[in-house]
Amino acid sequence: MCGRFSLTTSLDALLPRLRGELPAGLADHYAPRPQVRPGEPVLLQRQDQGRVAVGLALWGLVPEWSKDPRGLRRPINARAETVAARPFFRGPWRHRRALLPADGFYEWQSRIDPSSGRTWKQPWLFRRRDRAPFWLGGLWERWCGADGGELETAVILTTAPNDLLRRVHDRMPVLIPDGLEEAWLEAVDGPGLRALEPLMAPWDPAAWEAVKLEPAGSAPTPRSPDQARARGCGAPASGRQRGASADPQQLELLAGPEGWTPLDRDQPLAADES
């Protein structure tokens, strides 16, 4: 799955990758984000009404056919293997694919202490070795209420893990290679959609690295300067672990009270749609 990612790249560095007018106010309010969490706004590149544009959407998909999004299960991930068939994702897959800029993503590895039987979640950061940004493959949707209000939401596609991810998790995000943005966003028919399926296959990890992070609450024993800067990453599946971090801002971002950040109690987020 993909439950957290980072976008610390400056807006100036992102602009050459983005096509179309920026959302109103983005240039004034954009800030690097060490961790983007479910329920929060995400930046995305999309095609809207035949035009390629930059947009913002909340992470956690609400389908357009929903009568009322309150209390609706809101998936944050969609499996590439079943996205074309699942009712939640079938429409967005056909008409509203998206690209989400990121420069890293997190996964949590289930661990157990053989002597005590204690279990915990070991956080890992996956990023390009050159620290360059990349595209997460996703979908977006626009829900319209009876009162004319609109809600735009998004979901990130996941696929089977490559050799780098396999030892940590059984899923990983779909990455769209640079140069194929137009092909991914273009409105296409059935054969065109099937031609996109290879883009959702496990990607080559040769240019990537996995950085082992300090779980929240553990002793500060960084193995490198990069790890020292990244410490404070809390596990998403449990609220049990708490503790000090060398970076309070990072701790605040990474270790929320419940691990996830739903919009409210009536709008639950779901980790993955099987």
Q: Residue 144 catalytic?
A: no
260 DSSP 8-state letter: B
Cβ proximity of 216 and 95 under 8 Å: no
CA dist., res. 88 & res. 64, Å (int) = 9
Please state, in angstroms and rounded to a whole number, the distance separating the CA atoms of residues 26 and 32: 12
Choosing from 40, 81, 107, 141, the catalytic residue is 107
Q: Give catalytic status of residue 107 as yes or no.
A: yes
Listing DSSP states for 38-99 in one string gives TTSEEEEEEEETTEEEEEEEEES---TT-S--TT--EESEEETTTTTT-HHHHHHHHH-EEE
Q: 3-state SS of the chain: helix, strand, coil percent to 5?
A: 20, 35, 50
Q: Which residues are catalytic?
A: 2, 107
